[in-house]
Amino acid sequence: MNKKFFLFFILITFFKVYLFAQSSNVLAIRKYIQANQHAVINEFVSFLSIPNIATDSVNIDRNAHFIMQAMQQRNIQQVQVLYPITTKALPALYGEILVPGATQTIVFYAHYDGQPVNPAQWATGLVPFQPKLFNASIEQNGMAIEFPATDKFFDPQWRIYARGSSDDKAGVMAILNAYDAIVKTGMKPTVNIKFFFEAEEEAGSEHLFEILQQHTALLQSDCWIICDGPIHQSGIKQVLFGARGDTHVNVTVYGSKRPLHSGHYSNWAPSPPMMLAKLLASMKDDKGKVTIKGFYDDVAPLSKAEMKALREAPSIDAQLKQELGFTEQELPGVLLADAVNIPSLNINEMQSGNVGKNASNVIPVKAEAVIDLRLVAGNDWSRQQQKVIAHIKAKGYYVTTAEPTTEERNKFPKIATVTLSGGYNAQKASMDLPIAQKIITAVQSTIPEKVVLMPTMGGSLPLYVFDKYLHAKAIVVPIANHDNNQHAENENIRLQNFWNGIETVAALMMMQ
């Protein structure tokens, strides 16, 4: 054995011993949770049985009480409700565990509100707030089964179906049970823990910044860990260092003042749906690239560590395309992992006239679309909106913000009403930060595969608020299975993901 190789061998051995030392904590947590499966699931199911739509403040309060009680039962300190001072908001919940000697403080974030539900869209027999156990996913022909007797185990492939099961009551429960498991197994967190549970995430986190502003001292920390969203599509745990920003542009184009017979007037009257189709089509070339002037100009280049992480991420594109049932992607040759690191323009909705049973032979009076702009580091949401407006103008449209007046109709050949929604920018933490490295090591200690590291998630979260109001980093460590149907009907969590999530959070609470 030559000297270099010997040194390498010693290093690897040390690394393995270190990893094992970490994993023994994880094994203890695993054993504890397995032995207490029924209690954990019972509490989770009771929690999921409380409706949690942000517009339903009565039930949101019931959820809040449930969580506060769960925190108190675990001897979590300083349990309290956080409100902003000037406005009305649904309660964010707080608790803390200060660890003697700990030099770092981590806030564990999850939200307890869920997306609105349309019960009619849920599979037969499923009711959004009546949790049901299935022996597999519905897509894999899973069937509803009874909860097992207390002397039987839960199969890790089983799933619980209910609104909030993965997004994000699983996050709340993983955090609380991780802490519980650490204490009950006689171990100790290595960091001060702050618990923060939000109630308005699915409603746009409208008051989050005011709550942070109002409680800056209480919420001081070294990092926020956001326990929300799905793990990597490969089934491997992932750490995401940011989220894309988001904003919308609403466009309506107009034809005649009243609907016209499509026989008497076609070839002559303007056709709003065709005008809109052309306008939207002009925003992208045949290769899926946005053609709006300057659209990609502000993008901040990825760091070396980020590029390396993207290269090392397992390829899931072929598997996903098959699962989702399409062959041709919008940007040919660009991997999904890379696609989310580029700003995007997507049509969320289009509407003009009627289709199906209500279809009729008319030339509709208008056509409208909602354009969704996702932003990456470097983009400014308002500037990105302005680029779209400039493009619409360059296509010959007179742009206004209201319904066109008769005077405007008589004057301008092409009119577009453009209204802008609010928005926020992307936010990213550097992968090279010492706290980021500790988080990666902690998550890595729970699995043999290499943790997937993503510079950003494709979706958007207002992570900028933690930076802006608390000067804190925010890193996302998700829990749920990627096929969890979050935000849609038949939301579910695979039990193995829930168990794994508890282990992940426990490892983070004991990070070295």
Q: Footprint of Zn ion on this chain (CB under 5 A)?
A: 167-168, 228
**CB closer to Zn ion, 166 vs 379:** 166
* 3-state SS assignment for residue 68: helix
Smallest separation (angstroms) from Zn ion to the CB of 474? 14
Smallest separation (angstroms) from Zn ion to the CB of 168? 4
3-state helix, strand, coil in the chain (%, to 5): 35, 20, 40
Of the candidates 503, 132, 455, 192, the residue with the CA atom closest to the CA atom of residue 307: 455
**CB closer to Zn ion, 43 vs 228:** 228
**CB closer to Zn ion, 114 vs 255:** 114
**CB closer to Zn ion, 228 vs 491:** 228
365-394 burial code (b ≥16 CB/10 A, e <16):
bbbbbbbbbbbbbebebeebbebbbebbee
β 223-226/105-111 pair status? parallel
Smallest separation (angstroms) from Zn ion to the CB of 164? 9
**CB closer to Zn ion, 167 vs 368:** 167
Smallest separation (angstroms) from Zn ion to the CB of 178? 18
d(CA 83, CA 342): 36
* 3-state SS assignment for residue 155: coil
Are 111 and 201 contacting, i.e. CB atoms less than 8 angstroms apart?
A: yes
Smallest separation (angstroms) from Zn ion to the CB of 442? 22
Smallest separation (angstroms) from Zn ion to the CB of 270? 43
d(CA 155, CA 170): 17
Helix (H) or strand (E) holding 476: strand 473-476
Smallest separation (angstroms) from Zn ion to the CB of 174? 13
**CB closer to Zn ion, 25 vs 484:** 484
Tokens of 449: 């595969």
- CA 359, chain centre distance (Å): 37
**CB closer to Zn ion, 168 vs 306:** 168
